[in-house]
Amino acid sequence: MDMQKMVPVREQDPKVRATNFDEVCLGYSREEAVAECQRCIQCKNPRCVKGCPVGIDIPGFIRELRDGHSNAAADIIAEASSLPAICGRVCPQETQCEKYCVRGIKGDPVAIGKIERYIADHSRRKGYVALKKAEDNGHRVAVIGSGPAGLTCAGELAKRGYEVTIFEALHEPGGVLTYGIPEFRLPKQGVVQKEIDNVRSLGVKIECNVVIGRSLTIDQLMDEEGFEAVFIGSGAGLPRFMNIPGENSNGVFSANEFLTRSNLMKAYRDDYYTPIYHGKHVAVVGGGNVAMDAARTALRLGAEVTIVYRRGREELPARVEEVEHAEQEGIKFRLLCNPTEILHDEKGWVTGLRCIRMELGEPDASGRRRPVPVEGSEFDVAADAVIMALGTLSNPLIASTTKGLETDKWHCVKAVEKTGQTSREGVFAGGDVVTGAATVILAMEAGKKAAIGIDEYLKGKDAAKAE
């Protein structure tokens, strides 16, 4: 075994997986996972832990699995994370924990994410639940949203003895984990729902079809329902568009809507009839993970797909792995191009996308080189459907129905980063509703920080009463 090389992970053949919604990455076998664990040199001052937003003891769980103690490895992960099978699949480890792995200096870093996934999947297969329920401390907390921020906050609070109820607007829990990430990257029943069940095992209640701001307000939760603190983890579900001519044409979707229909209405299953229009020639505008997800979903539904992105390959914000998977599956990339108009026929249906070529100029505020249009370089891309994957904003509903809750110009809730405390006493927030669209693990980090903040807040109130 070459200790400088990562044990390769098995995947479905690209030609096969492009025709189904089965998971692309097949994960490690036990032998492969243990072999990869043996590459870890067990640093005394592990840099990888500092790269993990939720602070998992990475050398600890790797050591336990290496030595044959699968349950002990799962217990170590559970101390810091309630969603290991999800994190092992969708976290950008290459820019976080694995980025700081010492092995990566002269070779490949240890495949931390793939090992975490193996441990979580093994626990699920064996029926082992690492999360432990705590004794009730008598306090009640409401959590709005059952995505990664909400589930993490609820799990952390439950582990501290709080009675927690999650309120979810949709008919299935999971937030972006359920409706936003495709089945071939994150299986819903086999992974997401099992992780949610583990959180429920801590005593967390989940009430679906409750739209906070309509069904109930935050004031009602606290004044009438008896919750002593509230965490807002409702995410960022308001899609962004370009405001170009023809954008209201038939056959133009936000990636948010397209993926929600595909996931919640189960377009990935042959035994479901899903009313979802995808076209035969689909153009996806954007270069992030959501753009890759939308493009690869449209491909599996039978379309030829082209991704249009205004910067070059080096600037693509999507994970390298997702870009490579898309290319392997036959998706075309039109880079350094930007749409200027959506073309349509006399009935209003999309017929194409008019684009202009771009060149990279000086860096902008994000640090990336700013794309500049090349005059006279317009051209058309044939398409009968266009999916806009340009990011999302926070839905203003909760803020507009909660007096004293401050937001910024993008309708994101203002909150203290360290604790999640908002401008309203007893109300905390974290994840995409605060930062705008980001990653699953960063939302989890915010949920964990808010749980600690809520715990300190309520303990402080108890101490004040005791004086």
What pLDDT digit, counting tens, does each position of 272-306 carry? 887 788 789 999 999 999 999 999 999 999 999 99
Lowest-confidence region among 32-41, 119-128, 268-277? 268-277
Query: For residue 231, what pLDDT is reported?
Result: 98
Residue 283, H or E segment? strand 281-285
270 pLDDT band, cuts 50/70/90, is: confident
Lowest-confidence region among 75-84, 182-191, 356-365? 356-365
Segment 434-439 shows an average pLDDT of 92
In a domain? residue 135: no
294 and 361 together in one domain? yes
Q: What gap in Å lies between CA 305 and CA 104, rounded to an integer?
A: 35
Which CATH number do you get for residue 25? Answer: 1.10.1060.10
- Cα Rg of the chain, angstroms: 23
**Boundary of a domain, candidates 325, 359, 390:** 390
What pLDDT digit, counting tens, does each position of 239-254 carry? 999 999 999 999 999 9
Look at the block and give the residue holding tokens 């609820």: 154
In a domain? residue 182: yes
79 and 15 together in one domain? yes
In a domain? residue 303: yes
- Which three-class secondary structure state does DSSP give residue 407? strand
213 and 199 together in one domain? yes
Of residues 409 and 455, more confidence is placed in: 455
8 A C-beta contact, residue 381 and residue 357: no
What pLDDT digit, counting tens, does each position of 129-185 carry? 999 888 999 999 999 999 999 999 999 999 999 999 999 999 999 999 999 999 999
Percent of the chain with pLDDT over 70: 100
- Which three-class secondary structure state does DSSP give residue 10? strand
Q: Who contacts 159 (Cβ-Cβ below 8 Å, separation ≥6)?
A: 131, 132, 133, 134, 202
Segment 14-35 shows an average pLDDT of 97
Count of H-run helices and E-run strands, the chain: 17, 18
Q: How many structural domains are present in the chain?
A: 3
What pLDDT digit, counting tens, does each position of 165-180 carry? 999 999 999 999 999 9
In a domain? residue 174: yes
3-state DSSP of 331-393: CEEEECEEEEEEEECCCCEEEEEEEEEEEEEEECCCCCEEEEECCCCCEEEECCEEEECCCEE
379 and 404 together in one domain? no
53 and 114 together in one domain? yes
259 and 349 together in one domain? yes
338 and 351 together in one domain? yes
89 and 101 together in one domain? yes
8 A C-beta contact, residue 233 and residue 433: yes
Query: What is the rounded average pLDDT for all residues in the chain?
Result: 95
In a domain? residue 2: no
Query: For residue 271, what pLDDT is reported?
Result: 84
In a domain? residue 4: no
Look at the block and give the residue holding tokens 């059952």: 146
391 dihedral zone (left: phi>0; alpha: psi -120 to 50; beta):
left
- Which three-class secondary structure state does DSSP give residue 416? coil
Q: Give the closest residue to 383 by CA, choosing from 309, 290, 278, 291.
A: 278
Q: What gap in Å lies between CA 234 and CA 340, rounded to an integer?
A: 33
Q: What gap in Å lies between CA 376 and CA 395, rounded to an integer?
A: 38
Q: What gap in Å lies between CA 10 and CA 200, rounded to an integer?
A: 32
From residue 278, alpha-carbon distances to 15, 281, 287, 338, 459 in Å are: 20, 8, 19, 21, 52
95: tokens are 């820019």
Q: What gap in Å lies between CA 169 and CA 172, rounded to an integer?
A: 8
Give the start-end residues of each E strand in 89-183: 140-144, 163-167
**Rounded (10°) angle between helices 30-37 and 112-126:** 140
62 pLDDT band, cuts 50/70/90, is: very high
The distance from CA 29 to its chain's CA centroid, rounded to whole angstroms, is 25
87 and 121 together in one domain? yes
94 burial class (0-12, 13-18, 19+ CB within 10 angstroms)?
middle
8 A C-beta contact, residue 78 and residue 84: yes
407: tokens are 């937001």
Is the alpha carbon torsion for 449, 455, 461, 467 positive or negative?
Answer: negative
What pLDDT digit, counting tens, does each position of 372-426 carry? 999 999 999 999 999 999 999 888 899 999 999 999 988 899 999 999 999 999 9
**Boundary of a domain, candidates 79, 102, 126:** 126
401 and 302 together in one domain? no
Which CATH number do you get for residue 276? Answer: 3.50.50.60
In a domain? residue 300: yes
In a domain? residue 19: yes
Q: What gap in Å lies between CA 459 and CA 232, rounded to an integer?
A: 20
222 pLDDT band, cuts 50/70/90, is: very high
* Residue ranges making up the domain that contains 370: 241-390
The distance from CA 316 to its chain's CA centroid, rounded to whole angstroms, is 17
124: tokens are 């699920």
**Boundary of a domain, candidates 390, 425, 449:** 390
77 and 184 together in one domain? no
Look at the block and give the residue holding tokens 């582990």: 159
94 and 150 together in one domain? no
